[in-house]
Structure 1
Amino acid sequence: MTVEERYEAAKESYRNIGVDTDQVLENLKNVPISMHCWQGDDVAGFEGEGALSGGIQATGNYPGKARTPKELMEDIDKAMSLIPGKHRLNLHASYAVFEDGFVDRDALEPKHFKKWVEFAKKRGLGLDFNPTYFSHPKAEEATLSSENEEIRQFWIRHGQACLRISEYFAEELGTPCTMNIWIPDGFKDIPSDRKAPRARLKDSLDQILAAGYDKEKVNVAVESKVFGIGMESYTVGSHEFYMNYAAKNDILCLLDNGHYHPTEVVSDKISSMLLFSDKVALHVTRPVRWDSDHVVLLDDETKEIAKEIVMSGTEHVLLALDFFDASINRISAWVVGMRNMQKALLTAMLRPNEKLKGLQENREFTELMVMQEELKLYPAGDVWNYFCEINGVPAKEDWFQEVKAYENNILLKRD
């Protein structure tokens, strides 16, 4: 049977439970995922040879890492060519392209990201942005919560500069930019004063937002974390801090599913957040025992997150990925992660969600369990393969041959 014939058979199966697969594929095509640039070069950026800091670690030395903006853009192109649909690109400030000489992070301007805007325009991509509060000499102890006022003001200016750059992205590309603030500030051991650092962080964020920005163009988000290497006992930017700060200041709270205690799941948080905010920002990753940012798999939590996104309305969730694995082919990592997030969304869209919701409302839990379990073996894979075919990308594992050829012809020649 051809891919199309298998799709027609699957289409009939889903029609019998009230699911229109043609509409599902149209809906899926219109859900953009923001693909993170930092998988391509192990979060190195273009500022120099400094080591990663801030509790971040990329492990492995697989050959072919992107070393220049040109190489990184080529690798992004290759990955995007193997991912169905139209997506977005998520940049960190440390990926500025310096054509007229280096400037420090507090002096970054839109012109330092002109090459990225040109890249995005040609490909119809939206851009999202992140101030980079790590891997810098002034980030060795603390950033926005620093006791050193000179250091703190440096990082405040960086945040303000990033607001201007985010507006530039939105104006040039005609789509809002999500600007996400994450800092690694914290302590290795139990602090004597938890409040003072958070008070300084609050004041710093207030000063950044006071610089002013167009809320129609920029979605400012704040991202929490439980701990990092060297900050195991206390993180200034906790979930409770940012959730309250976001609510009070009408900005977004970003949920990263690697940034919580092991027994917490982000899939359970999305519906609660959206009862009090029109939108929530989301980084999907895969924690393994800690926030290790492994490549996203089609695992249970990814599928549960996707289900909550679909049930809540995809327009209410600003969806991005965040992982970096230097032990495997970096382009393959991008493609696997992005396609798995789309497969999870597809699986959620192929559920007869209104019927399942009705069973729960009527407390018909026996039939609900039966339906949810039977759906696990419905032919979602045949629908996925057809989705790939009509979007002009290889189905099943066929895409990997292109990655291997790219590795042999380009990546292995970089080292």
Structure 2
Amino acid sequence: MQIEIVGAGPGGLHFAALMKRHNPSHKITVYERNPRHATWGFGVVFSDRALEFLRKDDEALFQHLNPHLESWPEITIVHNDTRIPIAGNGFASIGRLELLTLLYDYVEQLGVNIVFDTEITKLSQLGDADLIVGANGAASWIRSENEAAFGTTTDWRPNKFIWYGTSKAFNSLTLTFRETAAGVFCAHHYRYKPDMSTFLVEVEEATWRRAGFDSMSPEDTIAYCEKVFAKDLEGHPIVSNHSYWRNFPVIWNERWSSSNVVLLGDALRTAHFSIGSGTRLAMEDAIALFKALVEKNNDIRSGLQRFQELRLPPMRKIWQAANTSIAWYEKMDELVPKLSPIEFAYSYMTRTGRIDHAEMRKQDPKLAAAFEALHPEMVNQ
């Protein structure tokens, strides 16, 4: 089978590896518009549950990646100057470029051809492919030029975020919320190698405007954020990598394929970074597509239909949880001043509805007990 994949991100690369390892006779080419050593952003994060899925479905890739991961057993919520560690939330992270480099090496060793510095702008460039995989991200032209065929909806959310890094190495995945005269600032930060961390800043749109970011230079924006989070950065600088303010697009497609073209990862659907599942979802898409095609003996039409049948139920749950999480962050300016540190941390942990009080007791008895002390009515729940 001839497979052409547009986009050398984790989802497209993982699918290529699975198919090539299963049947080395497949002719698989991955096209990437960027140079081999270029990438946006800083680090990516996996929950411990996400790593378990990878270990279960692709032990060889898990062993290839695992030695390069930074890991920690808890997350931390910072409510102004109060730090609340929360147990039962293991995570691991890796630099995005390092992850991609490891994946490049992995798939090339299997015989997959990756073509860098090549912009595919129309499907006719891909020749007589049996299968075309659109794994080219949230801004996928394959999807946007065929929205009617895929049944695409896009909802641009109002919060603003900017993806930075810093040389401050944090000890856990941390969500820091700080009140300022302009409004509440949130930093999502975690170490992805011994001397670097991702440092993503998020604010409500009204806060963004009050701070003057709409007319502020990149250098002044960094200085402003360094001042807001001075206590957390401890003198370390914020680092930009073509960083700019963005809004998050909530993307959904009713139909995941059209003819012999199928979408994967953020091209298929986006999940807000607050649940740390974007890379996981893309790689799970790859596994499900691979399994569906194998089950249907590489019959494209029935295999793509089976892919959506297999993947839709679990993926929709995570996607809906991510959207509920977005709505919670869009109320930061209300929640941070109103809630005590314990109440705020509890609200964060239960924000998506996937964790109730009984589960909170199991996951972090100390936080549950502290919340019950403030809300005795919860003791018997």
TM-score (norm 2): 0.27
TM-score (norm 1): 0.26
Q: Larger strand proportion, structure 1 or 2?
A: 2
